[in-house]
Amino acid sequence: MNLWRPKELIIHEDVRDDETAKSIVRRCRGVPVTYVTSGRSKDIVAASPTLSTASGLFDKIQRGKQVLYVAPARAAVDEFKMADRRMVCPHFQRLKCSSNGCYFACEWCYLRLTYRAAHPFITVRVQYDKIWNQITKKLHKTNDGVLYNSGELGDSLSLNRLTRAMEYFIPRFAGSANGYPFSLSKSDNVDDILKLRHNGRTILTWSLNAPEISKRYEIGAPPFKKRLEAARKAQEAGYPVRVRLDPIVNVDGWEKIYARTIGEIFDTIAPQRVTLGTLRFEPGFHRLRKSIFSAGCDLRTYLDRMTPMFRQARGTKKKKVGKYSFSEETRSKIFSFAIEEIRRRSDCPIALCKEARAVWKGVGLDLSRCACVCQLHAVNMMRP
C-alpha cells in the first residue's frame, strides 16, 4: 500500500487553490506541476512532455498511466446506460471522482482502448463540496435509494491516498437518507477508511481473479491474496462487501484453478453478491491486437479464436457486432461451473456482467432478479 506518485501533475487553474488539489501537490513533492486553463484533452496532452512525445499506441497507453490531471467538479455525476440492449446491463449513476482508468496496467482493461486517444491520462476531480451538491440535488428528487458507482471509469480506492475522496464522501453518505456510494477496485488500500463512520451504506466490491491469472495479466495490481485480505478487513469493519470474478480465463486446467480461487474467497469472506464475467474484448482490441498488448502477452492468441458476441444489428449504418468473445456454449459452460462452485458454499445472489440474455437463461439465472454488484437492489431485466 505504498503511495503511488505520478510522473507529472497537470492542474486546472480553476482548482489551483482547492484544498484537495493543494494536498495532492504536497503528497507529490518533487513531481513537476503544470497549470492549464483548458480541460480539453488535446490541450492537456500538449501541455504534457510525457504525453506529447509518445510514439505509438502502446507507448501512449503506458505513458498515460504516469500523468495525473486534477480537474474541476464539472460533470462529476451522470448516468450510465448500455447502448447495446442485446447485452444485459442495468443502468446506474456514475460518480466520476476518478476516471480515465488507473495506474494499474491490466492487459484486458477496456479503458486502455476507450481513453487511448480521447483522454490518455488519469483524471481526478476535486472541489468536493460542489460534487456533493450535484449528488444531493439528485437525491432530493427521489425517495428511492440511489447507488453511485465510482468504479466504472477508474479505481477510486487505489488513488485514495492522494485524493482522500473517501474520507470526504463516506461519512456524508453515512448520514444520507437515500444515497449509497459503490467502489469497484483491485486495490488493497483500505486502512485509511476502516474507522470511518459509514453506517453500512458504502458498498465495497473487489475485482478478483485466480492468482495465476492475476499475476500474468493484471500488471501492477496487488496480488489476489492482498486484495482478499483487504476485503476481509473491510467486512470486519462493517462494510457490505461484494465480489466481481471477472474475467474468468479458460486456460489449461481452469476448472481446478477457479474452484480453488472460489474456495479461498468464501473461506475468507462472505460476499453479499457475486458478479461473473468471461474474457471478452471491444472490437477495437481485435483490430489492434498486434499492438495494444505488452510484448509476450498471449491474449492476442485468445482474440484470434474469438468472434463477435452478436450478429450485426439490423437497420444500422455502421457495423455493430458487440464485443468479441467465445461462443455462447463456451461462456455458458464457464458460468455454470463457477455458479456450481459458489452454490456449494453460499446462496448469495449471482449475476453476469454485460452478457447476452440467452446465456443468462442457459445457466439458470433469473433476469427478473438481476442482482449485479453495481446495483442497490435487484433489477428486472426482462424488458427488451
54-79 pLDDT per residue, tens: 988 889 889 999 999 999 999 899 99
Q: Using an 8 Å Cβ cutoff, are 48 and 67 in contact?
A: yes
**How high is the pLDDT of residue 83?**
75
Q: How many helices (H) and strands (E) does the chain have?
A: 15, 20
Residue 181 CA to residue 200 CA, distance in Å, equals 10
The alpha carbon of residue 56 and the mean position of all alpha carbons in its chain are separated, in whole angstroms, by 25
**How high is the pLDDT of residue 311?**
77
Residue 312 CA to residue 75 CA, distance in Å, equals 33
Give the helix ranges, DSSP H, for the chain. Answer: 19-27, 41-47, 49-52, 57-64, 110-114, 128-139, 160-163, 165-174, 211-217, 224-236, 254-268, 283-287, 299-304, 328-343, 357-362
Average pLDDT over residues 210-226: 97
Percent of the chain residues topping a pLDDT of 90: 82
* pLDDT one-digit tens code per residue, 328-379: 999 999 999 999 999 999 999 999 999 999 999 999 999 999 999 999 999 9
pLDDT category at 317 given cuts 50, 70, 90 is low
Residue 152 CA to residue 373 CA, distance in Å, equals 12
Average pLDDT over residues 94-118: 88
**How high is the pLDDT of residue 234?**
98
**Helix pair angle (328-343, 254-268), 10° resolution:** 40
**How high is the pLDDT of residue 219?**
95
- Domain parsing of the chain, residue ranges: 8-369
**How high is the pLDDT of residue 295?**
84
Alpha-carbon dihedral angle through residues 333, 338, 343, 345, given to the nearest 10 degrees: 150
Tell which phi-psi region holds residue 43, choosing left (phi > 0), alpha (psi between -120 and 50) or beta: alpha
- In this structure, what are the phi and psi dihedrals at residue 170, rounded to the nearest 5 degrees? -60, -50
* pLDDT one-digit tens code per residue, 111-169: 888 776 688 999 999 999 999 999 999 999 999 999 999 999 999 999 999 999 999 99
Average pLDDT over residues 209-215: 97
CATH topology of domain 8-369: pyruvate-formate lyase- activating enzyme (3.80.30)
Average pLDDT over residues 255-283: 97
* pLDDT one-digit tens code per residue, 230-254: 999 999 999 999 999 999 999 999 9
Q: Which three cell numbers stand for residue 193?
A: 477508511
Q: Which of 85-89, 272-276, 332-336, 341-345 has the lowest mean pLDDT?
A: 85-89
Residue 292 CA to residue 113 CA, distance in Å, equals 8
pTM of the complete model:
0.95
Q: Which three cell numbers stand for residue 378?
A: 435487484
The closest of 231, 344, 246, 324 to 281, measured between CA atoms, is 324
Mean pLDDT of the chain: 93
Residue 63 CA to residue 55 CA, distance in Å, equals 10
**How high is the pLDDT of residue 312?**
65
Q: In the chain, what's the furthest Cα-to-Cα distance?
A: 56
Q: Which three cell numbers stand for residue 207?
A: 475485482
Residue 281 CA to residue 283 CA, distance in Å, equals 6
